Structure 1
Amino acid sequence: MKRSILAGVAAAALGLLSMGALGAGLYWLAYPVLRPLLGHPHDWQGDGVWPATLLAGMLWALSFPLAGLVHRRLAASGRPPAWRRLSYLAMLWLGAVVAWLLVAPLMTPR
Structure 2
Amino acid sequence: MVFWKNWSFNIKFSLIAFFITAILGLVSMGALGGLLYYPVSFLFGSYPTLDDWSGDWVWPSVIMVGMLWSFGFVFGAVAWYYIQKITQSKVMLIAAYLLILWLWAALLWCWMIKVNLDQLT
Mapping for residues 19-58 of structure 1, pairs under 5 Å: 19-36=29-46, 38-58=47-67
Task: Verify: 1:67 aligned to 2:67, yes or no.
Answer: no
Indicate the structure (1 or 2) with the bigger Cα radius of gyration. Answer: 2
Structure 2, unaligned stretches of length 5 or more?
Answer: 1-10
SS at match of 2:111: helix
Q: Identify if the C-alpha distance between structure 1 residues 12 and 106 changes in structure 2 by more than 3 Å, giving closer, same or farther.
A: farther
- What percentage of aligned pairs have identical amino acids? 31
Larger mean CA deviation between 22-31 and 76-85 belongs to 76-85
Cα deviation 1:5-41 (Å, max 9, x = unaligned): 22111111010010000000000111111333x4211
SS in 1 for 2:108: helix
Find the aligned partners of 1:103 and 1:7 in 2 and give their Cα distance: 23
1:7 aligns with 2:53: no
Runs of 4+ with >6 A deviation? none
- The number of aligned residues is 109
The one-letter amino acid of 2:63's match is: L
User: Residue deviations 1:50-93, cap 9 Å, x none?
Assistant: 11001010010111000111111111222411000011110000
- Residues in 1 aligned to 2:112 and 2:27: alpha-carbon distance in whole angstroms: 18
Do residues 16 (structure 1) and 26 (structure 2) align?
A: yes
Alpha-carbon distance, 1:106 to partner: 4.4
TM-score (norm 1): 0.90
Counterparts of 1:82 and 1:27 in 2: how far apart (Å)?
A: 25
The alignment yields a C-alpha RMSD, in angstroms, of 1.5
Higher relative contact order (CA 8 A, sep 6+): 1
